[in-house]
Every structure is written in structure tokens, then in C-alpha cells.
């Protein structure tokens, strides 16, 4: 199982007025644990006022680049992000779990593909890594990146993107959209939604036959982009999406105790080759049920998004409230998000060692 490691802050830079770029030094002896694919993310935690505060951030740097970089958008009232903006210093240590996640590019030198990317706000963080890794390693591939923000001054990684455009002028098409600043061409004004994607596709992508699309932003943006690209003929398995935030789908029932959830369940977890069994009420999710018995299982967002809590059901059944973090094939193979899962029977065995 992945564990948290202390990583020292090597560099801190204000990216925009409301975002910070944090560079983390990975010691040589654990560098292999922090190898990653472009697009993946990692949980980061620290202790504030005696409590552990944990968040998940995408990596903006590319594989092999050290120190490893993340981008943190500072949310007003956000405990962790305000700590990063106001208190964290170079040389301090943050607890960081090795990278993971199914949202990533599979870069291969002999690929000759046309890729699309749609990013909104801090959703650019994994996309930057994907675009840069692809262009640096696939000499025959092309990328079209559409990046939406409210205003230019809050646009993260804008200098990195212009530098990439200069390096790969022939193979990167870069388009910025702003929702709160009037643009000379109306197509670049407004949010990235279903209608806008159809308009952008007609203007810039017709005849290109894109192979894959990477989408990162809030829930509604992702659904709009997916619908538009599906309508335009891109197959579902060519669309890769990563959500930030944990908005619930319209019509999704709230995570309440369902009928029959009051029963007790004996849950066995297999982790690092060891077995532990604890009792819980099935109305709780498994992460909270374990915590109530003093057992800490991995988690970060607790919103069904980051998949830090991913585990495999070896025996028994669960009901999952929300799933934004697992691919359909993972669910079919019996993987679940423990933070969203409730036991359905009286016994359940979860295997955290199965990858």
C-alpha cells in the first residue's frame, strides 16, 4: 500500500494572484516510488491546529523532472491552500503519498496522433504535464489545447504554455477562452460548455480526426465536453476525464442510510500482507467505519473523486454512493471507492494489495 513520505519544499512561487506553484524534493532512496505518468495526482497532507488536513493535487511537471511540481489554487477559507499561500516556507516538509490515478497519457515515441485537451481553471495542472510529455516524446503527434478561465490574470501556467507554444509551434495549437473578459473574437469568450465545444470543433478541428481527448475541470464542464465530443463522433474510450471538486450528478440520491444499512458487518482488510478485521454499521462508509475502530484506511477527498481509497472487493458486496474516480473496467473487476462504499452483507473482505 502507498504510504505518506515527508518531502521538503524546494521552491515556492506565486503562479497567479490566487495560486502557488510548489516544488517538492524527492529523496533519491524513494525516487522510484514517485515515478509517475503524465496526468497523475498525489495526496498531500499536513497537520494544522492538531488535525491532519489532506488534499489531492495533480502534478504539473513531467516524468523525470525534479523537483516534482504541483499547482495549488488558493481557495478563500480553504484551510490547506491558505496554509500553503501564507505559512508554508522553503525547507518545510509536507507529507506526500506517491502518485497514482487512471487519468494519464500513455506516451509512446512511435505514436502519430492528434490529441485534444480541454482544461478549465486549475484543471490545467495535469493537462500541462500531458501536453508537454506528449510533445517532447512523440515527434509526430499534435495537440490542440483549449483552456478556459475567468480572466487572463488568474490563468495558471500561462508562461509555461507560451513557452511550449514557442518550442512546438508546428505541433501545438493553443487557444485561451475567458468568461469574464470580452475577447476580440466572440468564439474565445465564455465558458467551455457543450455548445462552445461544438463551435470550437467546427472552427479548428474539422478534418483532423482527433484520436483522443483529455478533459479536466469541474463536473458540469466535463459533462458538456464529453457530450459534445460524443455527438461529434469521438468514441467514449477516447475521452479521458479528471474532475476536480465533488459535485453530485443531477438526480443522484444523497448519501443517506439506505434501507437495510443498519445491520452490522465484519470487515476484513488485507493490507501489506496483513489481515485485520473490525466491526462497523453498514450505514457508515468503510473509511469512516474503520476510523471509528481506530484503523486508518487510505483516503484523501472523501468525495468519490481522487480514488486514493481504491480497494478490491475480494469477498462480499458493497453499495457505492458516488464514483467519479474509477473507470468502468475497474468497477467491473470489483474495485470500489471505500469512502463511498457501504457493506451489503454481514461479512466483507477488501484487498488493498491487489493492484
Judged by the rule CB under 6 A, the positions of this chain that interact with ligand FES are: 299-302, 304-309, 325, 337, 339
Query: Which residues contact residue 308 at a Cβ distance below 8 angstroms, ignoring those fewer than 6 apart?
Result: 43, 56, 97, 100, 298, 299, 300, 301
Give 122: exposed, middle or buried? Use CB within 10 Å, 0-12, 13-18, 19+. buried
Closer residue to ligand FES in complex, CB, 24/305: 305
Closer residue to ligand FES in complex, CB, 117/269: 269
Closest CB 298 distance from ligand FES, rounded Å: 8
Closest CB 267 distance from ligand FES, rounded Å: 16
- Residue 346's closest CA among 250, 277, 276, 274? 277
End-to-end CA gap in the chain: 9
Closest CB 322 distance from ligand FES, rounded Å: 8
Closest CB 10 distance from ligand FES, rounded Å: 27
Closest CB 280 distance from ligand FES, rounded Å: 16
Query: Which residues contact residue 279 at a Cβ distance below 8 angstroms, ignoring those fewer than 6 apart?
Result: 264, 265, 266, 267, 293
DSSP alpha helices (H): ranges in 147-302? 158-167, 194-204, 219-231, 286-292
Give the cell for residue 312: 478490491
Closer residue to ligand FES in complex, CB, 235/254: 254
Closest CB 340 distance from ligand FES, rounded Å: 6
Closer residue to ligand FES in complex, CB, 126/325: 325
Closer residue to ligand FES in complex, CB, 121/325: 325
Closest CB 36 distance from ligand FES, rounded Å: 18
The sheet with strand 41-48 has its strands ordered as 51-58, 41-48, 93-96, 5-16, 19-25, 68-73
Q: Provide the 8-state DSSP code for 49.
A: T
Closer residue to ligand FES in complex, CB, 120/307: 307
Query: Which residues contact residue 253 at a Cβ distance below 8 angstroms, ignoring those fewer than 6 apart?
Result: 321
Find cell 503519498 and name the residue: 97
Closest CB 269 distance from ligand FES, rounded Å: 15
Query: Which residues contact residue 88 at a Cβ distance below 8 angstroms, ignoring those fewer than 6 apart?
Result: 9, 12, 22, 94
Closest CB 286 distance from ligand FES, rounded Å: 10
Closer residue to ligand FES in complex, CB, 245/260: 245
Query: Is-contact 256 264, C-beta < 8 A?
Result: no
Closest CB 242 distance from ligand FES, rounded Å: 12
Closer residue to ligand FES in complex, CB, 7/301: 301
User: Phi/psi zone of residue 186: left (φ > 0), alpha (ψ -120 to 50 degrees), beta?
Assistant: alpha
Give the cell for residue 130: 500531458
Query: Which residues contact residue 305 at a Cβ distance below 8 angstroms, ignoring those fewer than 6 apart?
Result: 56, 243, 244, 245, 246, 324, 325
Query: Is-contact 58 70, C-beta < 8 A?
Result: yes
Closer residue to ligand FES in complex, CB, 107/309: 309
The SS3 call for residue 189 is strand
Closer residue to ligand FES in complex, CB, 105/309: 309
Amino acid at each position: 500500500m502507498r504510504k505518506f513520505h515527508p518531502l521538503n519544499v524546494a521552491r515556492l512561487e506565486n503562479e497567479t494572484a490566487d495560486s502557488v506553484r510548489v516544488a517538492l524534493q524527492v529523496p533519491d532512496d524513494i525516487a522510484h516510488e514517485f515515478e509517475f505518468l503524465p496526468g497523475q495526482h498525489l495526496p498531500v497532507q499536513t497537520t494544522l491546529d492538531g488535525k491532519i488536513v489532506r488534499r489531492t493535487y495533480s502534478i504539473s511537471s513531467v516524468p523525470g523532472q525534479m523537483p516534482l511540481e504541483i499547482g495549488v489554487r488558493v481557495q478563500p477559507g480553504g484551510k490547506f491552500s491558505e496554509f500553503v499561500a501564507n505559512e508554508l516556507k522553503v525547507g518545510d516538509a509536507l507529507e506526500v503519498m506517491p502518485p497514482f490515478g487512471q487519468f494519464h497519457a500513455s506516451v509512446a515515441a512511435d505514436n502519430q496522433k492528434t490529441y485534444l485537451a480541454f482544461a478549465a481553471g486549475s484543471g490545467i495542472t495535469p493537462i500541462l504535464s500531458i501536453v508537454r510529455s506528449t510533445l517532447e516524446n512523440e515527434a509526430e503527434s499534435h495537440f490542440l489545447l483549449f483552456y478556459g478561465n475567468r480572466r487572463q490574470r488568474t490563468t495558471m501556467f500561462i508562461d509555461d504554455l507560451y513557452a511550449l507554444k514557442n518550442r512546438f509551434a508546428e505541433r501545438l495549437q493553443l487557444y485561451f477562452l475567458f468568461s469574464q473578459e470580452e475577447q476580440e473574437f466572440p468564439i474565445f469568450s465564455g465558458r467551455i460548455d457543450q455548445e462552445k465545444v461544438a463551435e470550437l470543433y467546427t472552427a479548428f478541428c474539422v478534418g483532423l480526426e482527433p484520436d483522443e481527448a483529455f478533459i479536466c475541470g469541474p463536473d458540469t464542464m466535463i459533462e458538456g465536453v464529453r457530450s459534445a465530443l460524443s455527438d461529434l463522433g469521438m468514441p467514449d474510450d477516447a475521452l479521458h476525464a479528471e474532475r476536480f471538486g465533488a459535485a453530485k450528478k443531477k438526480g443522484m440520491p444523497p448519501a443517506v442510510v439506505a434501507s437495510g444499512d443498519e445491520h452490522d458487518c465484519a470487515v476484513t482488510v488485507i493490507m501489506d500482507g496483513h489481515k485485520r478485521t473490525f466491526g462497523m454499521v453498514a450505514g457508515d462508509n468503510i473509511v469512516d467505519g474503520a476510523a471509528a475502530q481506530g484503523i486508518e484506511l487510505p483516503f484523501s477527498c472523501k468525495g468519490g473523486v481522487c480514488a486514493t481509497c481504491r480497494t478490491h472487493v475480494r469477498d462480499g458486496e458493497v453499495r457505492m454512493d458516488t464514483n467519479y474516480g474509477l473507470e468502468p473496467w475497474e468497477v467491473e473487476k470489483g474495485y470500489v471507492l471505500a469512502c463511498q462504499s457501504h457493506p451489503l452483507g454481514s461479512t466483507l473482505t477488501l484487498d488493498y494489495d491487489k493492484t
